[in-house]
Structure 1
């Protein structure tokens, strides 16, 4: 069987349709219709990816996402009928890996699921070369184990956060534009609003890397150009 996907949506018809498409791609499926059951399923089923609705009858999706990110880094794609800009920003800031608004095309959703699982599972591949380790400036990254240690503190990064940090460090000393980051990390065409997505993830990454002072200048912004990590 393929990867295990957790669907959390109180609209049973939508959950059933998504389940059908996932099973056609040989994924294992776990369905929950409320937040309480979803949190139990996360602990019991250990999913490889979650499709998480924002509006649930008991616990909102953002709260569930926060709970998930306290312990797990598997990809989370937020599903919502809301299209407000701040909802998207909230989800990304709390650690969501992707965001799709209802009504959505199931084929587009399947493409995003596959992309997130490819990105996530590459960290579990064994026998990777030494080039998959970056160690400088108090930062240690290991793509084999998805390990990130900064100033002797272990950081829990989502796959997208890890990819962004890896690309910046791999090209340290150079300015990487938002467009370059987006197309390399998300594997999608860059549009004007894509810059907001990159900015939110950079901000979240800086927050995780900030020390006791609450400041982090590891990732520098070059205004109007992009981002840089010093050599």
Structure 2
């Protein structure tokens, strides 16, 4: 039975989500502040986090930033903020999905199942025939420990940034369209959400490139998409 940490200070919404997802077979652990979420996450493992942004004690974005330093667990933001900039910020900080309030329980359930399914496929690296390491030039990805290093320096990537980098490393000579990237990484239909991909690519470049304004690892192919740079 999959366990979900529900971080929502509105008790009416928390109870509604708690009841619905419990009836669907999930174990739900509700907390009402950001600090409670930090404490609870340290005490037991979870399969997914449902996260409100506006929280007392510690806001949702700060919790998300702290979480991403130690875990790739899928996170779905639930927020009344519905602007494109708010969504891009949440996804850029490491959320896997963004659900705008008010939302239907049917849609929430679909998003939860999709996020857990993607996470399960993503973490299934037990195939003995597959390599556990991918490397290009100075960067190495360990598929068992999820550690990414550039030289001797360990990089802190979000789950989406990891998946994007892994996608390019696995297809070093292929030009990827934004639609292909979104379908592969988000496992969802592409609805022209260029800003989402642009934010993730930009943040990934800031972490892996010597000079993000002159990227060498992830190159832009104008009018098409992106490709991995070539190194001698």
Shared fold per TM-score greater than 0.5: yes
Superposed CA RMSD: 2.1
Name 1:16's counterpart in structure 2. Answer: 15
- 1: distance between equivalents of 2:180 and 2:22? 34
Q: Is the 8 A contact 2:118 2:187 kept in 1?
A: no
What is the correspondence of 1:61-210 to structure 2 with a 5 Å cutoff?
Answer: 61-122=60-121, 123-131=123-131, 133-192=133-192, 194-210=193-209
- 2: distance between equivalents of 1:88 and 1:138? 32
Q: Is the 8 A contact 1:119 1:159 kept in 2?
A: no
Q: Can you list the C-alpha shifts for 1:142-192, whole angstroms capped at 9, x where unaligned?
A: 334323222232223333222211111222122111111011211211112
- 2: distance between equivalents of 1:145 and 1:219? 23
Q: Is the 8 A contact 2:82 2:100 kept in 1?
A: yes
Instruction: Give secondary structure in 2 for the equivalent of 1:227.
Output: strand
Instruction: Give secondary structure in 2 for the equivalent of 1:67.
Output: helix
Deviation at 1:214, TM superposition (A): 6.5
Deviation at 1:81, TM superposition (A): 0.7
- 2: distance between equivalents of 1:156 and 1:84? 27
**Structure-2 change in CA distance of 1:8 and 1:86 (3 Å):** same
Q: Is the 8 A contact 1:75 1:158 kept in 2?
A: no
Deviation at 1:230, TM superposition (A): 2.3
Name 2:2's counterpart in structure 1. Answer: 3
Q: Is the 8 A contact 2:216 2:229 kept in 1?
A: no
Deviation at 1:208, TM superposition (A): 2.1
Unpaired stretches in structure 1, ≥5 consecutive residues: none
Name 1:56's counterpart in structure 2. Answer: 55
Instruction: Give secondary structure in 1 for the equivalent of 2:18.
Output: helix
Deviates more, 1:19-28 or 1:47-56: 19-28
**Structure-2 change in CA distance of 1:131 and 1:26 (3 Å):** same
Deviation at 1:131, TM superposition (A): 4.3
Paired residues, number: 228
Deviation at 1:136, TM superposition (A): 2.6
Unpaired stretches in structure 2, ≥5 consecutive residues: none
Q: Can you list the C-alpha shifts for 1:14-67, whole angstroms capped at 9, x where unaligned?
A: 112222232233322110111121111121223221111011233321111112
Q: Is the 8 A contact 2:94 2:160 kept in 1?
A: no
Deviation at 1:228, TM superposition (A): 0.8
Question: Normalising to structure 1: TM-score of the pair?
Answer: 0.88
Q: Is the 8 A contact 2:74 2:119 kept in 1?
A: yes
